[in-house]
Amino acid sequence: MEGGSNHRQELGRRGEELVCSFLKNIGHTILERNWRSGHLEIDIISLDAEGIHFVEVKARKDSIQAPPQENVDRQKQRRIVKAAQNFLRTGKGIPFGSHECMFDVAAVTFREDRADIEWIPQAYIPIYV
């Protein structure tokens, strides 16, 4: 099973690299990658003219599985929002506290000869209660 874990990690790293390139091409500045706060993590934090983006990357090989973005369920969303709140309280995050915050998903599907990126800006909006 360990080989499977390494394969998934490598697939994830490749997906994140492609998404970072994609984001740069559409005008984003990458602020952080794999930012951690305890057990919470944000794959990519970027900035563009609209605000700060907290991006969850999901990468999969082409298969009969559900689309990768379907794995960003409410529990995962809450964890990302909590991590984003923690980031905005840090020295690196404080300057962006007044920016619009967006929670995006990038789904990368690797096929035999290519990788497809489905960019879902503002994939979800946190509800604070």
Overall average pLDDT of the 100-127 stretch: 92
Percentage above 70 pLDDT, the chain: 90
Residue 10's pLDDT band (cuts 50, 70, 90): confident
Residue 4's pLDDT band (cuts 50, 70, 90): low
The full set of domains in the chain, from first to last, is 2-124 (3.40.1350.10)
pTM, 2 dp: 0.90
Tokens at 49, concatenated: 């003219």
Tokens at 74, concatenated: 């409410």
**pLDDT averaged over every residue in the chain:** 90
Whole-number pLDDT of residue 11: 87
Residue 103's pLDDT band (cuts 50, 70, 90): very high
Task: Judge whether residue 1 has pLDDT over 50.
Answer: no
Distances (CA, A) of 98 to 16, 26, 76, 88, 121: 26, 22, 24, 10, 19
Per the CB < 8 A criterion, the answer to whether 116 and 65 are in contact is no
Overall average pLDDT of the 62-77 stretch: 78
